[in-house]
Amino acid sequence: QVQLVESGGGLVQAGGSLRLSCVASGRTLSTFTMGWFRQAPGKEREFVAAISWSGGSTYYADSVKGRFTISRDNGKNTISLQMNSLKAEDTAVYYCAAKAWGVVGVTFRPDHWGQGTQVTVSS
C-alpha cells in the first residue's frame, strides 16, 4: 500500500508562486507514475500534471502548461509541483496521486491518492 502526504499549500496573491510537495511511504516509488490533480469548489477533480517513473517524461494540462513544473526525487520518495504565475482560477485542493506503470497523460488513472492540500490565489 502507498501512503501519500502533500504539503506546501497556502494563500498567495495572483502572479505569485507556490511549491507543493508529496512524500510517499509504504513502497518505493521507482516504478510508479506520479501526478497532481486538483478540485475547485463545485467542480469535478481535474488532471494537472504527471511524471513517469524515471522522471524522463512529463505531461501537463493545457491550463497550467508553461506555468507549472512537476519533478520527482525517487531517492527521497517525493514529487513536487512548482507553480508560478498563479491565477485566481488555480484555486483548488491539490491532490498527489500514484499508479504503478501508469499512463503519463491526461488519461492517467491513479490507484493511490493523498488527502489534499488547499491552494488559494487571491486576485
Q: What is the pLDDT of residue 98?
A: 96
For residue 73, what pLDDT is reported?
93
Which pLDDT belongs to residue 30? 80
What does the pLDDT read at residue 1?
83
- How many whole angstroms separate alpha carbon 91 and alpha carbon 12? 10
91-111 residue pLDDT tens:
999 999 999 989 999 899 999
Instruction: Read off the pLDDT band of 113 (50, 70, 90).
Output: very high
pLDDT of 22-69, one tens digit each? 999 887 778 899 999 999 999 999 999 999 999 999 999 999 999 999
Which uninterrupted H or E stretch holds 44? none
Q: How many C-alpha atoms does 46 have within 13 Å on its Cβ side?
A: 16
Amino acid at 70: I
